[in-house]
Amino acid sequence: MFKRILLAGCMVTGFASAAFAGVDDSDIFSDITGGSANASHSRGLYTPTTARSRVSYSSKYRPGSVIVDTKAKYLYLVETDGKAMRYGIGSARPGFEWGGSMKISRKAKWPSWTPTASMRKRIPGLPITMKGGITNPLGARALYLGTTLYRIHGTNEGRTIGGAVSSGCIRLHNKDVEDLYERVKVGTRVVVLR
């Protein structure tokens, strides 16, 4: 069974049941919640290609900058000495791509979500607002970009990492967005490459 739900600048793709190669991220979910994983919200792939890792990275951007490579499906937090922390991402699907430079304007833990009126019109039944928590599609953390509806946020659907799946938001595994959240501050420069 396959279902899609378009979300405020983001889209979650969920699978009711399927078998996938890779590492199930339910252990990551359990780390976040301190409890057992609920398969409908936590199951997904956490593979070597999407796993957070420190890599060699040559960049014209200053240490502390966040670079989002939407084609390669990676986000880089630029460090010193030609290194970066690399995170696997899910990015915008065709027709919703964008690029540019902006700054992180706000950070939130377990953010609430308010779908836009146009999204609620396209997808009847969406809530007007949803409190933060494990069932919220924005996941464990959100980094708001400028005054836009775009965010770098977590996801409870790990199998979407590595895909072109959103309406413009950049998504990471919950454990990865928690890590990034602690490393960046409001005012951090974010460059989205197309």
With vertex at residue 114, the alpha carbon angle to CA 11 and CA 125, rounded to the nearest 5 degrees, is 70
CA-CA distances (angstroms) from residue 75 to 50, 86, 176? 10, 6, 11
Distance CA 189, CA 18 (A): 38
What is residue 49's predicted lDDT score, i.e. its pLDDT? 79
In whole angstroms, give the CA distance from residue 133 to residue 23: 23
Tokens found for residue 140? 């464990």
pLDDT tens digits, 58-67: 999 999 999 9
pLDDT: which is higher, 6 or 67? 67
- Is the entire prediction scored with pTM above 0.85? no
Q: Which two tokens stand for residue 60?
A: 């014209």
- Does the pLDDT value for residue 85 go beyond 70? yes
Among the options 10, 41, 169, 173, which is catalytic? Answer: 169
Active site residue 169: yes
- 10, 41, 153, 173: the active-site residue: 153
Does the pLDDT of residue 117 top 90, yes or no?
A: no
In 3-state terms, what secondary structure has residue 84? Answer: strand
C-beta separation of 153 from 181 below 8 A? no
Whole-number Å distance between alpha carbons of 179 and 187: 17
**10 catalytic residue (yes or no):** no
Helix (H, G, I), strand (E, B) or coil at 21: coil
CATH of 2-193, one of 3.40.50.300, 3.40.50.1000, 3.30.450.20, 2.40.440.10: 2.40.440.10
Measured distance CA(1)–CA(15) in Å, rounded: 6
Rounded to whole angstroms, the Cα distance separating 174 from 158 reads 8
Terminal Cα-to-Cα distance of the chain (whole angstroms): 32
Percent of the chain with pLDDT over 90: 59
List the chain domain ranges: 2-193
